[in-house]
Amino acid sequence: MWKVAMSEEVGKALLSVVERVNLAATRRPKALPALPPRLVAVSKTKPPEMVVEAYRHGQRYFGENYVNELVEKASDPLILESCPEIKWHFIGHLQKNNVNKLLAVPNLFLVETVDSPKLADKVNSSWQRIRGASTQRLKIMVQINTSGEQSKHGLPPEETVNTVKHILSQCSALHFAGLMTIGRYGYDLTLGPNPDFQMLLSRRQEVCGSLKLPLEDVELSMGMSTDFEHAIEVGATNVRVGSIIFGYRDYPNSATNTPNPSPFPSPAPSPEKTSKAVSEEAAKKMQHLTVSEH
Ligand SMILES: *Cc1c(COP(=O)(O)O)cnc(C)c1O
């Protein structure tokens, strides 16, 4: 089914999201740091061919939330060959026993879901080993459970400052990039600003105040398909958008916690526009969308 619709649909949907991201950024209060928002295209359960299609339309940042699925997709020969500048975000729950596997992923860019000092220590030591002689630090964010729901992972909000402090002082292989939240689903925006986003903003304020960090150095990852514009308007620097780019997800056996295990269908004969030039041009147009790499 996706074969037929994919190539036009993914590109079109992506470009419309990019436009909406840019428009939302113009509506931000001037007092907020003017960081251009980074769009992370969440490709979980979707085949490599769709990632390549979005890449050809200029998208560079992609998110996955199951370690095994990310390992598989990031090492897929088609993606390795067609997407040399791809940057993967890990946005799922991370268990200590999966850290080594995750950190070996090619083109891993940012781990958004560190949610305890112990996990940070594990990621730190694992990265020290994996990077070998390199001094490159691994970018991470701290995930906060802003809604306090049992079902959501993340650090209790009141532990934010101490955890960030721990990372800055004890985890020399990590680059603390910001705070991330998922928040309550289905919040009704007619009731006012999303309280989960407001809480992330106030925790950033607190972190920056206590630890003497400039606001610009602490990103906020919040906002998904249904609320990314609102998130950007209130200060998100990183939005994670899946279904409105790639279509709704099928979870076989409604097992929402397991990645789609079935082998993906073989790709449709690729259309003419596979040229690197097209993709690079598109990427250039989108450069203003991406936060510079520190
Ligand atoms: C799946 C997922 C998203 C994207 O959700 P959509 O509603 O499809 O945009 C964003 N963030 C996380 C952590 C996710 O797991």
Atom of ligand 1 nearest to the CA of 91: 13
| Helix (H/G/I), strand (E/B), else coil: 56 | helix
Q: 262 lies in a domain?
A: no
Domain of residue 21 covers: 2-27+34-244
pLDDT for the residue numbered 138: 98
Q: 121 lies in a domain?
A: yes
pLDDT for the residue numbered 258: 39
Dihedral over Cα of 216, 127, 181, 69: its sign: positive
What CATH number is given to the structural domain containing 179?
A: 3.20.20.10
Q: Is 251 in the pocket of ligand 1 (CB under 6 A)?
A: no
* Phi, psi (deg, nearest 5) at residue 118: -65, -40
| CA–centroid distance for 24 within its chain | 18
pLDDT, the chain, mean: 88
Q: 288 lies in a domain?
A: no
Mean per-residue pLDDT, 273-293: 51
Residue pair 58/273 in contact by the 8 Å Cβ criterion: no
53-111 pLDDT, tens digit each: 999 999 999 999 999 999 999 999 999 999 999 999 999 999 999 999 999 999 999 99
- 250 confidence band (pLDDT: 50, 70, 90): confident
Q: 268 lies in a domain?
A: no
pLDDT for the residue numbered 189: 92
- pTM score: 0.86
Residue pair 288/21 in contact by the 8 Å Cβ criterion: no
- 284 confidence band (pLDDT: 50, 70, 90): low
Q: 153 lies in a domain?
A: yes
pLDDT for the residue numbered 285: 53
Taking the C-alpha atoms of residue 14 and residue 21, their distance in angstroms, rounded to an integer, is: 10
DSSP label at residue 159: G
12-25 pLDDT, tens digit each: 999 999 999 999 99
* Phi, psi (deg, nearest 5) at residue 7: -65, -40
pLDDT for the residue numbered 251: 74
Q: Which helix (H) or strand (E) element contains residue 220? A: strand 219-221
Q: How far apart are the first and last CA of the chain?
A: 41
Q: 276 lies in a domain?
A: no
For residue 134, give Cα distances in angstroms to 43, 86, 112, 129, 213.
Answer: 29, 20, 22, 10, 26
Q: What's the domain count of the chain?
A: 1
Predicted confidence (pLDDT) at residue 244 exceeds the cutoff of 80: yes
Say which range, 168-172, 248-252, 258-262, has the weakest mean pLDDT.
258-262
Q: Is 42 in the pocket of ligand 1 (CB under 6 A)?
A: yes
177-220 pLDDT, tens digit each: 999 999 999 999 999 999 999 999 999 999 999 999 999 999 99
Q: 261 lies in a domain?
A: no
Predicted confidence (pLDDT) at residue 269 exceeds the cutoff of 50: no
Q: Is 225 in the pocket of ligand 1 (CB under 6 A)?
A: yes
DSSP label at residue 103: H
Q: 271 lies in a domain?
A: no
Tell the residue nearest (CA) to atom 7 of ligand 1: 225
pLDDT for the residue numbered 283: 62
Q: Is 243 in the pocket of ligand 1 (CB under 6 A)?
A: yes
